[in-house]
């Protein structure tokens, strides 16, 4: 600090002390600002810029079209379908992740046998590479030789094999299930970490005050989990909303466009239809949705904190 | 009203015995302290009574009801936790209201009772605050309020004052005594602070390593400790304890410890404990029973600790360090030679082997000659 202060003084010997400190501050945050600009602002600005052109992907050459890309998108059924699919997927998988994650965290918080083993095993899906996980699930879901059909028919739950990936609503259900399976461990570890810090005496006090197990859950556990759930849901919602590889690998957006979310639509515009401008426009719109969603969430978050 | 009884209550955590065959009969409306060093089983005792812990064996009764199998909520007891255990996301009013809400009391009644409890504890101005916006003493009052509002049969308090500073502690001590006098409910108070126990309790149960040592009034425990442990634990500064041998020599009773030889009042100990050739004992004298006397035995002053209203003085008496307390007007300096006598009416004798009290003094003689100190 003193060194940097001396440097600042050498650079601007005649400036007032407050100005010197201002310069020093600017100097110190400059690297962060530069990196931030390089990795966030530049791509963002260029995406917005690209979305105003009609561009052929292989050559990246094209002409200015203004807002035409947006107009076309907002008027197209495909875009709104993708948006709706995206919402269904995000809400569906998020709800499952949170319910499953909280339930398992509660279970793992109990003194059950093999608790530490179970705690490590639960992380398995989260650590597994998406490609591997999806390949395994495709095998499980396969309509001809998949173990799921086989098991369910063996148990007498159904009489004919189901097409889990190639028909609706099975495909959406499958995607949601696999997404929940893959990402619920994140909820488990976050919630479990918080559960372990809730003091026992709160539960004991509630017990003496006459609360049963459900009362203790709603009056102690849930309020104590509120902050961590807020963060977890926020993060998972963002990540699920822009999820690409899991869905692309599992269904490719099909059947037809039944599981085609916005990120898949971006991909389709960019590399199947070879129009980078349209793809950028989808990406920018997607970002706007998420921005609105986040603002809403932050306002809610601030309100609940105070 | 409600008496609380422990009968042969035993508690083991695995192989570790936390509480051994506890028998304790607490009378209705009594203020009883559980006193003992850290880890002696005070909290365990309270938690078993509350129902948060199951005794390994033995019966616990509240009133005339055996509560062993009753869930905590049905025992009609309220507990104030050492850490207060206030619900952090609820306001003061909601905290106090909670036990009523869980018992299905109607909203209007709840409101009224919360206000009454808040008024009793001067919490009215704080009702809308969250616990973290309160000072330690205020939190403690809220915890008390949450217990009060239920109007339970008995209160269990686990070191409720231990988190407070000395001044607030003295203040809350007085408030608790006043509260007990006002509502007259049975209160069981856990503490490891002997001053709290002595000043607040009707009776004190002194525990050590899971064993009940003595259960009696504060004065009785102070004046007639039944064991070496109780003698050493109660009182500040601690009782002087000198190891030596006690011998009956005809009609005389002689205590020998290194260079120190004292003739004790012949009726001090029970005759049946004495053996030919003497027995190993520990002689106990409270600091206030170590008296300055010009004709007493020679000793030197080692350290003087003035506290303002008195001075604690460490004497060197025949290579034994003896603590005494003298009035504020007595000026003593380190190295100064003085004469000492011991108040013969207040001597305590304990068996060295098991620490039990050997005095024959269920009714000690009012006055007795000071023992002569013979070099
Ligand atoms: N759940 C438990 N499992 C094993 N040992 C325990 C358990 N609870 C208490 N103990 C042991 O039992 C003994 C008594 O504990 P307790 O909490 O009753 O002590 P305490 O007298 O309240 O002490 P403190 O003054 O430190 O609060 C201690 O040695 C403690 O280690
Ligand atoms: Mg304790």
Per-residue pLDDT tens over the stretch A256-284: 888 888 899 889 888 888 888 888 989 99
Name the band, by pLDDT with cuts 50, 70 and 90, for residue A3.
Answer: low
Structure-token match 């239920």, residue found: B150
Nearest CB partner across the interface for B85, out of A202, A210, A219: A202
Sign (positive or negative) of CA dihedral A196, A199, A200, A204: negative
Return the closest-CA partner of residue A249 out of A263, A237, A238: A263
**3-state SS class at B159:** coil
Structure-token match 């201002």, residue found: A22
pLDDT at A167 over 80: no
Please give the residue of chain B at the shortest CA–CA distance from A226: B89
What pLDDT, on a 0 to 100 scale, did the predictor assign at position B363? 42
Q: Is A227 touching B (CB cutoff 8 A)?
A: no
CATH number of A76-305: 1.10.3720.10
pLDDT mean by block of 10 residues, chain B; 375 residues:
90 93 94 94 94 94 92 91 91 94 90 90 90 89 89 90 82 88 92 91 95 94 94 92 90 87 88 85 94 88 91 91 90 90 91 90 45 45
> Looking at the DSSP assignment, which residues form a beta bridge with residue B35?
B191, B206
A213 vs A13: CA distance, rounded Å: 69
DSSP-assigned letters across all residues of A3-62: HHHHHHHHH-TTS-HHHHHHHHHHHHHHHHHHHHIIIIIHHHHHHHHHTTEEEETTTTEE
pLDDT at A231 over 70: yes
Partners of A198 on chain B (C-beta within 8 Å) are: none
B63 vs B47: CA distance, rounded Å: 17
Return the closest-CA partner of residue A189 out of A141, A232, A154, A237: A232
Q: Is B51 touching A (CB cutoff 8 A)?
A: yes
> What average pLDDT is seen over chain A?
84
CATH number of B4-228: 3.40.50.300
Name the band, by pLDDT with cuts 50, 70 and 90, for residue A10.
Answer: low
For residues A19-48, give the mean pLDDT.
Answer: 90
B74 vs B268: CA distance, rounded Å: 51
* ipTM of predicted complex: 0.79
If one residue of B44, B53, B79, B205 were mutated to test the ligand 1 pocket, choosing by the most ligand atoms within 8 A of its CB, it would be: B44
Sheet holding B57-62, edge to edge: B16-26, B4-13, B57-62, B65-66
B200 vs B172: CA distance, rounded Å: 11
Thinking of the domain B233-373, which architecture would CATH place it in?
A: Beta Barrel (2.40)
Name the band, by pLDDT with cuts 50, 70 and 90, for residue A146.
Answer: confident
Runs of H (alpha helix) within B184-295? 194-200, 218-223, 228-233
What pLDDT, on a 0 to 100 scale, did the predictor assign at position B200? 92
What pLDDT, on a 0 to 100 scale, did the predictor assign at position A40? 86
Show the tokens assigned to B259.
């260079």
Chain segment A56-113, per-residue pLDDT in tens: 777 778 888 888 888 888 888 888 899 999 999 999 999 999 999 999 999 888 877 7
Top-ranked range on mean pLDDT: pick from A1-10, A108-117, A121-130: A121-130
Sign (positive or negative) of CA dihedral A92, A94, A98, A100: positive
Q: CA B157 → CA A196, B22, B79, B141, B357, distances in Å?
A: 26, 19, 6, 12, 31
Domain coordinates in residue numbering, chain B? 4-228, 233-373
Contact B225, B235 (CB under 8 A): no
Name the band, by pLDDT with cuts 50, 70 and 90, for residue A4.
Answer: low
Contact B217, B230 (CB under 8 A): no
Domain coordinates in residue numbering, chain A? 3-50, 76-305
What pLDDT, on a 0 to 100 scale, did the predictor assign at position A93? 95
Q: Is A205 touching B (CB cutoff 8 A)?
A: yes
**CB-CB under 8 Å, A223 with B83:** no
Show the tokens assigned to A226.
């509120």
What pLDDT, on a 0 to 100 scale, did the predictor assign at position B362? 47
Residues 6+ apart with CB under 8 A from A110: none
């Amino acid at each position: 600090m003193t060194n940097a202060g001396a440097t600042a003084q050498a650079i601007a010997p005649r400036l007032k002390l407050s100005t010197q400190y201002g310069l020093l501050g600017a100097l110190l945050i400059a690297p962060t600002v530069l990196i931030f600009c390089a990795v966030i602002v530049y791509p963002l600005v260029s995406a917005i810029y690209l979305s105003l052109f009609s561009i052929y992907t292989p050559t990246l050459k094209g002409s200015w079209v203004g807002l035409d890309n947006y107009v076309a998108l907002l008027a197209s059924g495909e875009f709104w379908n993708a948006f709706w699919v995206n919402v269904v997927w995000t809400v569906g998988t998020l709800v499952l992740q949170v319910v499953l994650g909280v339930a398992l965290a509660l279970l793992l918080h109990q003194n059950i046998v093999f608790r530490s083993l179970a705690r490590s095993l639960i992380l398995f899906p989260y650590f597994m590479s998406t490609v591997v996980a999806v390949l395994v699930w495709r095998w499980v879901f396969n309509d001809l030789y998949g173990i799921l059909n086989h098991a369910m028919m063996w148990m007498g739950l159904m009489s004919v094999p189901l097409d889990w990936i190639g028909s609706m609503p099975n495909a959406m259900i499958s995607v949601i299930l696999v997404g929940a399976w893959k990402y619920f461990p994140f909820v488990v570890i976050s919630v479990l970490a918080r559960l372990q810090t809730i003091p026992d005496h709160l539960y004991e006090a509630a017990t003496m005050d006459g609360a049963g197990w459900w009362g203790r859950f709603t009056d102690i556990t849930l309020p104590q989990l509120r902050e961590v759930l807020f963060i977890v849901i926020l993060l998972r919602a963002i990540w699920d909303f822009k999820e690409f590889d899991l869905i692309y690998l599992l269904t490719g957006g099909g059947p037809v466009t039944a599981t085609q979310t916005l990120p898949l639509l971006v991909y389709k515009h960019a590399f199947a239809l070879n129009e980078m401008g349209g793809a950028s426009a989808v990406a920018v719109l997607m970002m706007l949705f998420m921005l609105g969603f986040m603002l809403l969430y932050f306002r809610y978050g601030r309100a609940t904190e105070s | 009203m409600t008496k609380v009884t422990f009968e042969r209550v035993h508690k083991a955590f695995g192989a570790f015995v936390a509480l051994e065959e506890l028998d304790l009969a607490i009378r209705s409306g009594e203020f009883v302290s559980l006193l003992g060093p850290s880890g002696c089983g005070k909290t365990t005792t309270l938690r078993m009574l509350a129902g948060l812990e199951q005794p390994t064996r033995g019966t616990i009764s509240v009133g005339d009801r055996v509560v062993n199998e009753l869930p905590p909520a049905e025992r009609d007891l309220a507990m104030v936790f050492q850490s207060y255990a206030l619900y952090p996301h609820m306001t003061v009013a909601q905290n106090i209201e909670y036990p009523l809400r869980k018992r299905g009391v109607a909203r209007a009644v709840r409101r009224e009772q919360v206000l009454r409890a808040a008024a009793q504890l001067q919490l009215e101005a704080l009702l809308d605050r969250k616990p973290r916006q309160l000072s330690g003493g205020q939190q403690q009052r809220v915890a008390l309020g949450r217990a009060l509002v239920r109007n339970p049969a008995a209160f269990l308090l686990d070191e409720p004052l231990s988190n407070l500073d000395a001044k607030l502690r003295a203040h809350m001590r007085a408030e608790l005594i006043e509260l007990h006098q006002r509502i007259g409910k049975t209160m069981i108070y856990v503490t490891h602070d002997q001053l709290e126990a002595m000043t607040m309790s009707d009776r004190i149960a002194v525990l050590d390593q899971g064993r009940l040592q003595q259960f009696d009034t504060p004065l009785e425990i102070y004046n007639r400790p039944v064991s070496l442990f109780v003698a050493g634990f109660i009182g500040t500064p601690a009782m002087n304890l000198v190891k030596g041998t006690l011998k009956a020599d005809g009609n005389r009773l002689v205590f020998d410890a290194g260079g120190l030889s004292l003739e004790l009042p012949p009726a001090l100990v029970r005759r049946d404990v004495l053996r030919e050739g003497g027995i190993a004992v520990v002689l106990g004298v409270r600091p206030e029973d170590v008296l300055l006397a010009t004709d007493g035995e020679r000793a030197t002053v080692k350290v003087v600790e003035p506290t303002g209203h008195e001075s604690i003085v460490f004497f060197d008496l025949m290579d034994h360090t003896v603590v005494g307390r003298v009035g504020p007007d007595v000026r003593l300096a380190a190295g100064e030679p003085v004469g000492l006598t011991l108040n013969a009416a207040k001597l305590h004798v304990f068996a060295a082997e098991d620490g039990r009290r050997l005095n024959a003094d269920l009714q000690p003689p009012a006055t007795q000659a000071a023992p002569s100190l013979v070099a």
